[in-house]
């Protein structure tokens, strides 16, 4: 028996691909060595956003509820229960995992538990079973590199290990520069821990537009997160002494060091020589490796670390196997950051446009005077549209708003159909809504 496709890894890259392949009638097997849903569902996107939501509710109740007219509680008694927030998170994760399992069954996808080994470009070994297949899809994801430093046992917490019943001490240090690092730093800040963010390099959120980044830096600093730049990502120059990371000129209290360093591809065991570049499997624009029948999608190919991009890559591969070739434009996928307020961005950043010498125009509109935002008590932020001067094409959009990660979908639709800023201005938005600001920015840009 031969499979059309054997998928290694059931994260958002693997499972979305498996379900689509099954729907299109391909004989599909998916191999998972741990939990269905991978990093995103079990230890990443879903749990981290879930605990962030708990923290936001905590803050809202503690600091805002009274002003909304809610009475009957003593502010001093309001606390945050980590255990309960994890319990709630587990419930969500379980439900979603069961959902994926159901879709596998419904669409004829065979789920195999075990660790895969690629034997040849057309065969995979799992659990002493040799699967013959026309195509292999590697979707094994990525994980943080370990912090290579002499630190006491138990001090370093890997993100995959975070979401469990544990004591959360007072002094939290997060090491990393990416969005996840910022999100987690903010989470601990929201539950009123003392947080230091150690940033390897000179910037947080390297993918964000610098305008957005500056905005977020200010916001973080104002909320009490201490940011230290240009820290070595193995903490060289630091020693751990008396509950603190100590260097020549710094003493950072640290009871808990969260590792959110750069990620590296999780490479599957393989008897074929896949080309590896900087710790990731090298692929072409159709995500084919140096073997035409072997594809690599998601984090493991190093092109992006976003779940929705991994899924989109998977759908592209299914089309490719089916002989449908279309270009995939990674610029037209939203980049979401679940900070408070949320940040979302799509398309070109202003830095990229400047570098390419493009003629562009920036149209910005603030959340400040938006009725719905005021009602919700969340009127910080803005919508920023970058459009081409000649035709008005929408080249990029950045949103900072409490619900920016949802609002960005509209910008995605406009960019998918290559719309102009005039189209945004002409699209009637209901009142009162926060998304009105998007239209206002469009009108601003059409002037």
Partner 1 sequence: MRYIFNFPDIGEGLDEGTIVEWYVSKGQQINSGDSLVKMETDKVVADIPSPKSGVIAAIYGKVGETIHVGNALVEIEIEGVSGAAAIEEAAPKEAVKEEGAGVVGTLEIAGNNAFLPASEEGTKENQSTTEKTTKKVLATPVARAVAKDLGVNINMVTGSGPAGRVMKEDVHAYLQKNGTSSPGRTVQQTVAEDRVELKPLTQLRKTIAKNMLQSKHNAAHMTVFDEVEVSELVRIREKYKEIFLKKEVKLSYLPFVLKATALALKKFKALNAQMDMENNQMIYKNYYNIGIAVDTEDGLIVPVIKDVDKLSILQIAQKINEISEKARKREVSMEDMKDGTFTITSFGSIGGQFAVPVINYPQAAILGIGRILKKPVVKGDAVVPGTIMPLSLSVDHRIVDGGETARFINQIMEYLSDPVSLIMD
- List, by residue number, the catalytic residues: 431
Residue that has been written with the tokens 């699209």 in this structure? 427
Point out which span in 192-200, 236-244, 265-273, 413-421 binds partner 1 (CB under 8 A): 413-421
CB nearer partner 1, residue 336 or residue 387: 387
Asked if residue 207 lies in contact with residue 331, where contact means CB atoms within 8 angstroms, the answer is no
CB nearer partner 1, residue 130 or residue 330: 330
- Smallest distance from the beta carbon of 288 to partner 1, in angstroms? 20
423 binds partner 1 (CB under 8 A): yes
390 binds partner 1 (CB under 8 A): yes
- Smallest distance from the beta carbon of 413 to partner 1, in angstroms? 12
CA angle 371, 372, 374 (to 5 degrees): 65
CB nearer partner 1, residue 255 or residue 423: 423
CB nearer partner 1, residue 173 or residue 425: 425
The DSSP string of 178-189 is SHHHHHHHHHHH
Residue that has been written with the tokens 């201005």 in this structure? 425
- Smallest distance from the beta carbon of 417 to partner 1, in angstroms? 5
430 binds partner 1 (CB under 8 A): no
- Smallest distance from the beta carbon of 329 to partner 1, in angstroms? 10
Point out which span in 164-172, 277-285, 351-359, 419-427 binds partner 1 (CB under 8 A): 419-427
The DSSP string of 98-132 is HHHHHHHHHTTEEEEES-EEEEETTEEEETTEEEE
How many angstroms separate the CA atoms of 232 and 202, rounded? 11
447 binds partner 1 (CB under 8 A): yes
Indicate which single residue of 288, 293, 304, 446 sits in contact with partner 1 (rule: CB under 8 A). Answer: 446
- Smallest distance from the beta carbon of 309 to partner 1, in angstroms? 18
Asked if residue 321 lies in contact with residue 294, where contact means CB atoms within 8 angstroms, the answer is no
CB nearer partner 1, residue 1 or residue 417: 417
The DSSP string of 58-102 is HHIIIIIHHHHT--S--GGG----HHHHHHHHHHHHHHHHHHHHH
User: How crowded is the C-beta side of 47, counted as CA atoms within 13 Å?
Assistant: 24
Helix (H, G, I), strand (E, B) or coil at 341: coil
Point out which span in 2-10, 71-79, 199-207, 384-392 binds partner 1 (CB under 8 A): 384-392
Residue that has been written with the tokens 């980590």 in this structure? 82
417 binds partner 1 (CB under 8 A): yes
Indicate which single residue of 326, 357, 359, 430 sits in contact with partner 1 (rule: CB under 8 A). Answer: 326
Residue that has been written with the tokens 């370093």 in this structure? 156
CB nearer partner 1, residue 145 or residue 388: 388
420 binds partner 1 (CB under 8 A): yes
- Smallest distance from the beta carbon of 248 to partner 1, in angstroms? 54
Point out which span in 8-16, 50-58, 183-191, 414-422 binds partner 1 (CB under 8 A): 414-422
Asked if residue 174 lies in contact with residue 260, where contact means CB atoms within 8 angstroms, the answer is yes
23-52 residues in contact with partner 1 (CB under 8 A) are none
Which helix (DSSP H) or strand (DSSP E) does residue 171 occupy? strand 171-175
Q: Which of 305, 183, 180, 175 is nearest to 233 (CA)?
A: 175
391-410 residues in contact with partner 1 (CB under 8 A) are 391-393
Helix (H, G, I), strand (E, B) or coil at 214: helix
Which helix (DSSP H) or strand (DSSP E) does residue 54 occupy? helix 45-59
How many angstroms separate the CA atoms of 48 and 162, rounded? 9
Residues in contact with partner 1, counted by CB under 8 A, come to a total of 18
- Smallest distance from the beta carbon of 436 to partner 1, in angstroms? 13
443 binds partner 1 (CB under 8 A): yes
Indicate which single residue of 73, 426, 431, 432 sits in contact with partner 1 (rule: CB under 8 A). Answer: 426
Point out which span in 126-134, 227-235, 315-323, 417-425 binds partner 1 (CB under 8 A): 417-425
CA 316 to chain centre: 20
422 binds partner 1 (CB under 8 A): yes
Beta-strand pair 2-8/28-32: parallel
- Smallest distance from the beta carbon of 390 to partner 1, in angstroms? 8
DSSP letter at 420 equals B
Q: Which residues bind partner 1 (CB under 8 A)?
A: 326-327, 388, 390-393, 417-420, 422-423, 425-426, 443, 446-447
């Amino acid at each position: 028996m031969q499979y059309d496709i054997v998928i290694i890894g059931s994260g958002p890259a693997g499972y979305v691909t498996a379900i689509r392949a099954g729907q299109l009638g391909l004989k599909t097997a998916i191999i998972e060595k741990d939990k269905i849903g991978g990093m995103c569902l079990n230890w990443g996107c879903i749990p981290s956003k879930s605990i962030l939501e708990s923290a936001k509710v905590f803050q809202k109740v503690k600091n805002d509820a009274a002003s909304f007219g809610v009475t009957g509680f003593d502010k001093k008694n309001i606390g945050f229960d980590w255990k309960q927030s994890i319990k709630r998170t587990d419930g969500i994760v379980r439900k979603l995992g069961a959902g994926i399992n159901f879709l596998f069954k419904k669409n004829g996808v065979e789920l195999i538990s075990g660790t895969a080994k690629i034997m040849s470009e057309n065969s995979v070994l799992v659990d002493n079973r040799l699967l013959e297949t026309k195509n292999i899809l590697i979707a094994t994801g990525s994980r943080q590199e370990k912090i290579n430093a002499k630190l006491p046992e138990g001090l370093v917490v890997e993100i995959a290990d975070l979401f469990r019943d544990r004591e959360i001490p007072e002094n939290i240090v997060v090491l990393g520069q990416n969005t996840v690092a910022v999100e987690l730093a903010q989470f601990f800040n929201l539950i009123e821990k003392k947080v230091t963010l150690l940033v390897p390099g000179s910037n947080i959120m390297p993918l964000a537009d610098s305008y957005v980044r500056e905005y977020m830096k200010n916001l973080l600093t104002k909320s009490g997160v201490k940011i230290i730049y240009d820290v070595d990502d193995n903490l060289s120059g630091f020693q751990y002494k008396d509950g603190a990371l100590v260097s020549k000129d710094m003493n950072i209290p640290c009871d808990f060091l969260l590792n959110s360093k750069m990620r590296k591809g999780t490479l599957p065991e393989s008897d074929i020589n896949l080309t590896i570049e900087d710790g990731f499997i090298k692929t072409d624009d159709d995500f084919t490796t140096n073997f035409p029948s072997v594809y690599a999608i998601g984090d493991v190919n190093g092109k992006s670390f976003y779940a929705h991009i991994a899924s989109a890559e998977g759908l592209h591969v299914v089309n490719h196997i089916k002989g449908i070739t279309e270009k995939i434009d990674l610029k037209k996928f939203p980049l979401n950051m679940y900070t408070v307020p949320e940040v979302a961005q799509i398309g070109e950043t202003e830095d990229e446009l400047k570098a390419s010498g493009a003629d562009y125009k920036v149209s910005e509109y603030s959340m400040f005077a938006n009725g719905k935002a005021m009602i919700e008590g969340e009127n910080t932020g803005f919508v920023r549209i970058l459009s081409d001067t000649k035709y008005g094409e929408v080249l990029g959009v950045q949103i900072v708003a409490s619900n920016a990660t949802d609002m960005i979908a509209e910008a995605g639709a406009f960019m998918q159909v290559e719309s102009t800023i005039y189209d945004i201005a002409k699209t009637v938005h209901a009142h009162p809504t926060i998304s009105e600001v998007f239209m206002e920015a469009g009108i601003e840009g059409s002037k």
